[in-house]
Structure 1
Amino acid sequence: MVPITDPKIFSLHGRGLKLDTKADIEPYLTGFDPALIEEVHFGGNTVGIGASEALAEFLGKTTSLKVADFADIFTGRLISEIPQALQNICDALIPRDTLVEINLSDNAFGGRSVDPIVPFLTQNRTFQILRLNNNGLGPTGGAVIADALLQSAQLSKKEGKASNLRTVICGRNRLEDGSASAWAAGVQRTWRTRRDQDAAERYPHGWYHRTYNTFSEKGATAMAEVLKSWPELLTLNLSDCVLADEDGDVSPIFAPLAAGSNPKLNHLKLENNNLETRTFELLAEAIPEVLPVLKRLEIQWNEFDEEDEIIQTLAGILQRRGGKVIINDDEEEEEEEKEEAAEEAKEAEAETKPTVPEPAAQTTIEKATDDLADLLSKVTIK
């Protein structure tokens, strides 16, 4: 049995359970009404074929499910088990038209076991967030996922609807160049189906993360062209992308930034990119003129000395507008600790905020005194 603290949330997260059969999992499902469930969290357990069948039956009875969290549920499972278990779970989610988010991260099913996800990706077109981080997809598996998203977008278009997909997280999968064209087609078609939405919806690029990749000259040039079409961009994360080689050249990516293509950018992450003085000089010239709201610049692990004049110039520019340049990991940790402390203090203040006491009720004597005063006020002496 799982203690029911909230009938809308079912969670076995982090329990380390080995759920092989229906008999293994059913005691944990007992007591929950599927019709009330809005979130399920199974991360940190391992689910076999039999258990996945019982889980699928439970999911099939949900009518309000919004979050399906199945990250890290196949640890220790054989490659012969994973596809069937994955299919049982994903097929049960296809009709769930209230679903907003599905998380299948940290499951090493790889390109060989990715096919069971495809029917869900193409047939359930209500979910908005897809998390597939660290699944060992490789270029082949990545292309399968991208093609499924493309097919979903095409089906939505045929129905005269815009795609509901807002966020796809697919990092740490070694997608490589082999799946790049498939991803380009899938993403492009997804956003095109939303062209009739309002401007904020039409440009779904409030943030863009591209960490742990390598930009060739051709790729950097393509990225530079894309940046020109994202005027609403708020956060750009290009950390660990090898933007520069050993000779200190400035990546083409910085040209549109310096030309003012992204005036709303407030957070720029550039850690560990072999960047040298010429790049920082370009940023120092551009920030005051065309990046008026940039307040956080993260440049750790690049080719500079903390005392370099250009680094101090950058720090001064952002400091004067209430921002900061993060130049080492210690500063980043300090910033995070400050933010956490501020949040905790805010929560504590809310909990201890004094309430205005209710006026105390009059005692019998006080009431009698008031009544006597009222009577005396009516007495006249003749």
Structure 2
Amino acid sequence: MTDPLLDPQFFKDPYATFTRLRSAAPVHKVPTGSKGRYSYVVTGYAEAREAFADPRLSKDTARFFTGQPSRRNLHPAVSQTMLATDPPRHTRLRAAAGPAFTPGAVARMRPYITEVVGALLDVWAPGEQVDLVAGLAVPLPVTVICQLLGVPGDDRTMVARWSNGLFAAGESDRIDAASHALADYMADLVEAKRREMDDSLLSHLLVRSAAGELTGDEVVSLAVLLLVAGHETTTNFIGNAVLALVQHPDSLARLRDDPGLIPTVLDELLRFDSPIGVATFRYSTEALVIGGTEIPADVPVLIAPGAANRDPAQFPVPDQLDLTRNAKSQLAFGHGIHRCLGAPLARAEGEIVLTGLLTRFPEIELAVPSENLKWRQTRLMRGLDSLPVLL
């Protein structure tokens, strides 16, 4: 048996695989990586929510891989981010970055986000065919998170390219090279901010470092994580949401006629096509049981929000986009102490994009057959390489 999460068809449409696995059991043992290795994949909603909050599932990847031979050459600033830590270190790191992503902080950023969205839409005209991913879904979140961190404008395209390279499934050399390029760049930028402080998030992290709350390496690692997590997920969210709407004309018309509904339907759009298919690495620190499946100690456990959000036990008729559905319990941003720190920012960007897009171009349509769309080749992210639309 091969890893079902690395099948080419899985990247194109993971939901058939998720349904097959979940229908048999909410937790599955599957082969992964080298011969003889395996992990457990959690596909049921209740089981995923339980697993997200279970302290016996550690995110300390450095501890898990200690003593194991590795051919990888990931930069430590990428391989040992806050995502790969447990409390109390995780608690300390999250507290340092958290104030920048509170609802109040995000509210203060909304005018800037609106300005960026307007500028991106200004270059489009009715009747044009455009790539919504390249022209809107990628540049908006990159611009916003780079502005927040203090990344110079001329560097943002290059930084986004390195970030994208981190998710090149099956291309370990490309991933490793991108990790070093991005980490080295961010280390240089941190040093530049240290010499000339400003009002950027990087400078605020350096203040915490000077107070002894963060090490220098932790500032660089946090900067890398916030940059990558701050735009990759949102890029996928925007692309997936627009695709879902153009594939469901009645839903599109509903929002076009009443844009005030957009904030209330973001959870359903996130549920329907989650920007995270399979959450980042966890492993069992002791034997446990989830969903009736016995999981031994010291094995990887992969939680799949994309599967959990289509669990009919939680969301009736889950393969149907239903803008009247109460989907607040969706798990696209995870759950528990590792829930996505930037969720408020992602929601604000999604809301402002959809409002601007449907106001400017109310008759937007998909420009190619759905089966011709190309998806990113990574099991972690669920996102489009491109989205050709007719304005």
More helix by share: 2
Largest Rg, 1 or 2: 1
Which structure has the higher relative contact order (CA within 8 Å, separation 6+)? 2
TM tier, smaller? under 0.3
| TM-score, with length taken from structure 2 | 0.22
